[in-house]
Amino acid sequence: MKVSALQQARYSYNPKLPLILREDIRKIKPVYGKPTQSVSDQEKLQKLFPNTYGLPKVSFEKGQNNDIGKKMNVGVILSGGQAPGGHNVICGLYDALKKANPESQLYGFMGGPSGILDDKFIIMTDDLINAYRNTGGFDIIGSGRTKLETKEQFEVCTKVCHKHDINAIVIIGGDDSNTNAAVLAEYFRAQGESICVVGCPKTIDGDLKNESIEASFGFDTATKTYSELIGNIERDANSARKYWHFIRLMGRSASHIALECALQTQPNICLIGEEVEAKNQSIEEITNYIADIVAKRSEKGNDFGVILVPEGLIEFVPSLKVLIREINDLLAKTEKEFNIIETVADKITFVEANLSDRSKKVFNSLPEEIKGQLLADRDPHGNVQVSKIETEKLLIQTVTKRLKQMKADGKYKGKFSTQNHFFGYEGRCAFPSNFDSDYCYSLGYNAVMLLSANLTGYLSSVTQLSKSADQWQAGGIPITMMMNLEQRHGEQKPVIKKALVELDGEPFKYFAAHRDEWALDTCFTFPGAIQYYGPAEVCDQSTMTLRLEHKS
């Protein structure tokens, strides 16, 4: 396979580890903290996870470790959507396993969780691993969205592990995938199996985090990639001076990506879903907010600008959130009946007839194409796929209509020409930044330390991420610690709680303190492409979110 000059150069990059993980691997021992509890629903979750609930946090320090040298066969699964750095997690796993015992083997299950169910795998080798170091994508073994959540699936996992003498499974995924990891870990322990399950926190959305998981991997690279593109559009907008660019960004359940990109690029407007919900704002109020800024900039002769829209915005608008919940529940109950309806128009009529009066009014206020997008194929949990809802186009329509009214009233005299964009897949498989290369390698390496201590139901945790890599702290936290109960397919299910943008957090407060200036003045900043070589302050810096959260 032909490789680019950059890819060839990245092969030789040596990821930086926390100081403790740079020690002789046989001289790193686990240290156990106090028992933990879930973020909510403690009693119910303890009953659901009697064997793995309340486990202690774990950290590592210097000390003799006789367990690390045992031979281990570990299976690794890439689960869910891609995120930059996944290959380095696998590289870190492989290198730590081989350092601990050269006879240990890493089984890569192909195509995501279905790989273990179908018993399809490859055994990692030096040549294979070396061909993927510091590269983007998940193509070393592929990924998939099959959920490991049923007893029948767990029985198959057990048989496959026994067949190949696999002692442990590492699941690299987001909140749902790691919830499944926790359920699988509980099943193994309940059956008296010694197979350990450890997760690694992956999602570019940035919503898998707490004090012990300061960032999910891929967020750094993805937001820097998007910010480069946004900066390019800002430069174009400031050059042509005739378009308002509405840019929708990935981030279904939280607005972390939009906020981080706003901090990096200083657009005229950035909508934060969590704030919309907290202020109980309607589409009309959001429209008026945008239209007022458009009009004020026009008065200064600036009929152009850039607006960032998180893809999950529509679910944060309270009236639409209620509507979407009703639709999700309705389609869960009438799945067979709904699926035999052939045309979108008939599906819209069916749903409209079964909504409450309040939601019916909201539904009917939406353009036909948005109605159809709300009723498109559901995700694996039976929920609307917000990535298919073109919220930026909805806002262009509503703002255009509002500005026409303002023009008729003599309150606006400018020109409003628009361009719309969606940045999603552009950031998911980029070459990982130095930060993500280091962080992901550390997560994988650290996972082996957890497995060697026979720990199961844990997430690999590396903290102090706003500092240089040598000051990072390695350890692990129980997955149940991050859980609560949520409605899925009409039932209460244990899931990792989404981490939303905190409106009293430092990143949002910084944004809120500056957005009025960014709105009316042209304060664009142009981050440019990710830098891999040069001064550490240019190449190794973390996101602004992390720096503001840690005030560094």
Q: Which residues are catalytic?
A: 205
Phi/psi of residue 276, nearest 5 degrees: -55, -45
For residues 219 and 542, is the Cβ–Cβ distance under 8 A? no
Write out 158-195 in H/E/C secondary structure: HHHHHHCCCCEEEEEECHHHHHHHHHHHHHHHHCCCCC
63 burial type by CB count under 10 A (0-12 exposed, 13-18 middle, 19+ buried): exposed
Phi/psi of residue 249, nearest 5 degrees: -120, 150
Nearest Cα neighbor of 258 from 209, 304, 300, 312 is: 312
Could you tell me whether strands 491-496 and 483-488 are parallel, antiparallel, or unpaired per DSSP bridges? Answer: antiparallel
d(CA 480, CA 49): 8
Q: How many other C-beta atoms are found inside a 10 Å radius of the C-beta of residue 163? A: 9
d(CA 101, CA 8): 29
Cβ-Cβ contacts under 8 Å for 142 (sequence gap 6 or more)? 78, 110, 111, 112, 115
For residues 140 and 76, is the Cβ–Cβ distance under 8 A? no
What is 280-311 written as a DSSP string? T--HHHHHHHHHHHHHHHHHTT---EEEEEET
